[in-house]
Amino acid sequence: MSYDGLVNPGRNDECWCGSGKKYKKCHRDFDERLEDLAARGFELISRDLLKMPEDIAGIKASADVNVGALDYVAAHIGPGVTTEEIDQWVYNYCIEHDAVPADLNYEGFPKSVCTSINEVVCHGIPSPDVVLREGDIVNVDMSTIKNGYFSDSSRMFCIGEVDPEWKRLVDVTYESVQAGLAAVKPWGFLGDVSAAVNKVATDAGFTVVREFGGHGIGFEFHEDPWVGFNEKAGTGYLLVPGMCFTIEPMVNMGAQEIDMNDPNGWTVRTADGLPTAQWEVQIVVTETGYELLSW
């Protein structure tokens, strides 16, 4: 039995990846490398979560919708817009492009998108009663399913003129994601990504939320690995080519602590009421680095 409990094909049998090639000509050497790494104590995700070229193509088609919907939001958002309007834009865009919002009815979530304003860390629920106002910062976080493949990304929007320190928070959070991307190296560590993200945020005087982070995605909404942003370099899962996950730090202006006591069971806020920001991208690890799929 292999490290992940999956049965390896025989040398001349068809490879497990679906390529149609014989195992010995396809993933046999790759699998032997994984077995050796697992035996040496390295953390590896199961091979059935690795994305093959046809899977990546499917995820890209889903991501095209996700990115397109966020582009639509970017072109129309502004003071006076309700978060319910944003939700309707996202829903309509997905349906018009033969996709569905992954958020809608996920574990009971009632809307198609998360709209998290100012001190809301994540999972803000759109409402016709919530109106965006000059000076707000808002994260719009959406996920899409198309032909069974999942994509996920989020963006921050500054509504009108924003307090310079709030704008700095938004910009630093974006820069932390870029640092995380730069740290993605095949056969490196997921902790390298985490540490790179964290350093940018904390060097700027901010804190990084511990309880929420990124995740594997593609076949399902949330898969292994969990992607935290308070981890040490040189630790965690190995970045195996074919791993697909999100980088989505939530960065607080004030303290790291959060408040999860909203009666709606979803909305998370900073414990001190100070603003927070989040950007999210989705990538797949390649033999030479990574490919950005959704942003």
What was the pLDDT predicted at 129?
97
Contacts of 100 (CB under 8 A, 6+ apart): 94, 144, 145, 146
Q: Are strands 137-146 and 100-101 parallel, antiparallel or unpaired?
A: antiparallel
Question: What's the pLDDT tens digit per position in 161-198?
Answer: 999 999 999 999 999 999 999 999 999 999 999 999 99
Strand positions, DSSP E, 135-243: 137-146, 149-158, 207-208, 214-216, 223-227
pLDDT at 10 over 80: yes
Q: What percent of the chain has pLDDT over 70?
A: 100
**Residue 105 neighbours by CB under 8 Å, 6+ apart:** none
pLDDT for the residue 119: 98
User: Per-residue confidence at 210, pLDDT binned at 50, 70, 90?
Assistant: very high
Instruction: List C-alpha distances in Å: 48 to 23, 196, 243, 286.
Output: 15, 28, 10, 16
Catalogue all structural domains in the chain, each as residue range(s) with its CATH number. 1-41 (no CATH), 48-294 (3.90.230.10)
- Enter the DSSP assignment of 124: P
Is residue 1 very low, low, confident or very high in pLDDT (cuts 50, 70, 90)?
A: low
Concatenated DSSP letters of 36-52: HHHHTT-B---GGGSPP
- Cα–Cα distance, 59 to 294 (Å, whole number): 9
Q: How far apart (Å, rounded) are the C-alpha atoms in residues 283 and 173?
A: 17
Q: What average pLDDT score do residues 114-121 get?
A: 98
pLDDT tens digit sequence for 68-96: 999 999 999 999 999 999 999 999 999 99
Which pLDDT score is estimated for 294? 98
Per-residue pLDDT of 260-269, as tens digits, reads 999 999 999 9
Exposed / middle / buried, residue 90 (Cβ in 10 Å: 0-12, 13-18, 19+): buried
Angle between helices 83-96 and 53-76 (to 10 degrees): 140
**Residues 118, 120: Cα–Cα separation, whole Å:** 6
User: How far is Cα 268 from Cα 126, in angstroms, rounded to an integer?
Assistant: 14
Q: Is the pLDDT of residue 235 over 90?
A: yes
Q: What is the dihedral of CA 286, 289, 294, 295, to 10 degrees?
A: 170
What is the band of 289 on the pLDDT scale with cuts at 50, 70, 90? very high
Pick the closest to residue 243 from 63, 43, 13 (CA basis): 43
